[in-house]
A and B are shown apart, each in its own frame.
Chain A
């Protein structure tokens, strides 16, 4: 059972990383225009800094 001592923190840390990533995407406005973003992928333009 000693393995839990580091496995639990590791799982929490990984989940927390995912959560932080979600926050970051939300703050950057990546969920503001779902319709537009799904269309923009079809054009040839390089939009590597979505607003």
Chain B
């Protein structure tokens, strides 16, 4: 169902191509190369990627997993992952190598185990139900006893195997002196099975094997769906670590794993490569793109003695870097540790369901105990009293309560998905509904990637054609958006010779014997203007200034306005320069902004807001935002965000517009209202069912009807949200 929205995310060159390709089964092995493919989304992508990979020399087999957006490649020794990603990039697919070791392999043993348990419980439930229907419709005496024995023979091993997740969770809660929803569930299942065995052995009329099994099956189904949504959003920390390049090239030409590097080693970083380590540049000049780590929208100059951090991208020149920290000590890893820490803090959030369970579980246990004691005193019949106590426990068992929250979240997630939002965390809606402060990142969140050139007027076409010729000679982002703007005016480039790019300064060339330069103010000899700008200098002429503005993401202005209208406090935190940040803040009318914020400081700002009692929603996209995203009360990231940022976020925006953010907050509030209503329905139902059960009128048939009745009521109420 994700197909409807995802194609708008990335243009897929192979969509609708669907060429035949032979796919061989690939069983993940230790030496497999794992590739992350964030852009794939259709059948064409799958076959195109598999075909591209298999064309590479030395590749034995390749298999794409669309659910995880990964490819597993079996290759001979010596096949380089970089060659594979380069080939894929050429075919138009973004690809990153993943460190198979730190991801712990492709397999998903927990998911499979849950599915296995669910299958067994479903099989057993269907068979026992068949026999139960026979008993309910009048089987008696020996036939009934035989049916009960067969039911028991099926049910007991199934319960031992399938209900383990509930037993384990209940046990760990009890050991910590807490009660969760799994305690009454486990108790009901165990007691129902025990009393049924006893009743069967004395030829009793009622056995609850079917109730015990259907409880197990339905609750397991909920558990599995819950797990599926979350396993797709695997732990952000492990993906972050896996993104880190596992190898580096030493100056002697040897390619070594990063774990073998020691501080003091010299490594070479070529243009286009990511810094493998933290270090200091000792030779070479270049520009480095720090936007992933800091949010700066423009590349910065780097020369000897510049400090670099792992994860930054080298753009223009070859650098020799002396290692100061590698692997576990590098800044990328420290960021990952921060994220893990913050995620842990958020996992301690107590959901509404857990809070309800804390009230509900003791009440139910006390009631059935009271029923037992009461009937004991009145009749003195232990068997009858126990039967009634167990019936009370089964009838009140939180089927409706167990569904109250998941049914609403499913309906709300479905509604938000149609609006272009992907809900990843099970408690995201509850947390989002409490939000009173919204913190935005600038680069890539409120703005879209590259700055655009401001409209150019009053400039001679000769000057423009010179600027175009120079701009086209560079891969610098400003040069690219400048050349695009000039091209749109219908200017063709001038004829320049001796074009040359000076790392960190700009481009220069020769025009009719004169030197022309496009680049930084100081280098060109111009006076620096405020904001982001590039300068064109021609010998003996006044330099020409081209200014640039960050382009707002669609819906950014409306979103900020609507949030403020709802009384939310809006804050802008950016790692970019003050000039660029204040410009955007002014455009959006955000008074509360801070520029040049370091990643750790972003998280610190969020935590200090939280300490003041604010519930913060963080919206961000970069690696520098991940710690803040993880430590915020709730978090949203755009689909264009870095994988790691999307991983830590509760909600991912699938489209380009920011406007669904407002929708998400509105929906989360009505979802929480529905959840509370559902609790009320469950309570009301129990108010009727409990007296019936306590007074001894409940039969297994009544229990089965009551369980389904309340569950349907709760689900229907949840559907009103759609």
Contact = CB atoms under 8 A, between A and B. Distances in A.
Contact of B43 (A11, A19, A40, A49): A40
B105 to A, nearest CB: 12
Given A26-B119, A45-B22, A33 B127 contact: no
A11 B130 contact: yes
B87 interface: no
B26 interface: yes
Contacts of B23: 40, 45, 47, 51
Contacts of B64: 36
A47 B20 CA distance: 10
Interface in B146-181: 150, 154
Nearest to A42: B43
Contact of B20 (A15, A32, A36, A44): A44
Interface stretch (B108-116, B467-475, B503-511, B621-629): B108-116
Interface stretch (B65-73, B404-412, B685-693, B704-712): B65-73
B25 interface: yes
B27 A31 contact: no
B46 A1 contact: no
Contact of A36 (B19, B65, B126, B143): B65
B370 interface: no
B62 to A, nearest CB: 10
Interface residues on B, range: 35 or more
B47 interface: yes
A26 B115 contact: yes
B492 interface: no
Nearest to A44: B20
Contacts of A1: 143
Q: Give the most central of B20, B47, B115: most A CB within 10 Å.
A: B47
Contacts of B112: 26, 31
Contacts of B3: 39
A19 B150 CA distance: 18
B25 to A, nearest CB: 3
Contacts of B22: 45-46
Contact of B25 (A8, A45, A50): A50
A51 B27 contact: yes
A36 B66 CA distance: 5
B2 interface: yes
Given A11-B127, A12-B127, A36-B64, A45 B21 contact: yes
B475 to A, nearest CB: 35
B63 interface: yes
A18 B3 CA distance: 31
Name the residue in B21, B23, B112 with the highest tally of chain A Cβ atoms < 10 Å from its Cβ.
B23
Which of A16, A36, A42 has the most C-beta atoms of chain B within 10 angstroms of its own C-beta? Answer: A36
Contacts of B150: 8
B123 A18 contact: yes
A19 B25 contact: no
Nearest to B108: A32
Interface in A1-34: 1, 4, 8, 11-12, 15-16, 18-19, 22-23, 26, 31-34
Nearest to A12: B127
Given A15-B127, A45-B20, A36 B119 contact: no
A10 B114 CA distance: 28
A1 to B, nearest CB: 6
A23 B116 contact: yes
A35 B2 contact: yes
B159 to A, nearest CB: 16
B24 A43 contact: no
Contacts of A36: 46, 64-67
Contacts of B19: 43-45
Nearest to A50: B25
Contacts of B24: 49, 51
B116 to A, nearest CB: 6
B65 A32 contact: yes
B385 to A, nearest CB: 34
Contacts of A19: 119-120, 123
A11 B154 CA distance: 13
A35 B21 contact: no
B130 A33 contact: no
Contact of B26 (A4, A31, A45, A51): A51
A32 B123 contact: no
A26 B224 CA distance: 14
B135 interface: no
A16 to B, nearest CB: 8
A43 to B, nearest CB: 4
B130 A51 contact: no
B258 to A, nearest CB: 30
A39 B66 contact: yes
A39 B42 contact: yes
B66 A33 contact: yes
Nearest to B66: A36
| Most B C-beta atoms less than 10 A away, residue of A4, A23, A32 | A32
B63 A51 contact: yes
Interface in B31-75: 42-44, 46-47, 63-68
A15 B126 contact: yes
Given A26-B115, A44-B20, A45-B23, 9 more contacts: A12-B127, A15-B127, A26-B112, A31-B115, A33-B66, A40-B43, A43-B18, A43-B21, A51-B63
Interface of B: 2-3, 18-27, 42-44, 46-47, 63-68, 108, 112, 115-116, 119-120, 123, 126-127, 130, 143, 150, 154
Instruction: Report the 8 A-B pairs with minimum CB-CB distance, sorted nearest first.
Output: A36-B66, A51-B25, A39-B43, A35-B67, A42-B43, A43-B18, A35-B66, A19-B123
30 contacts: A11-B127, A12-B154, A18-B123, A23-B119, A26-B112, A26-B115, A26-B116, A31-B112, A32-B65, A32-B67, A33-B65, A36-B46, A36-B64, A36-B65, A36-B67, A39-B46, A41-B43, A43-B19, A43-B21, A43-B43, A43-B44, A44-B18, A45-B20, A45-B22, A45-B47, A46-B20, A47-B23, A49-B24, A51-B25, A51-B63
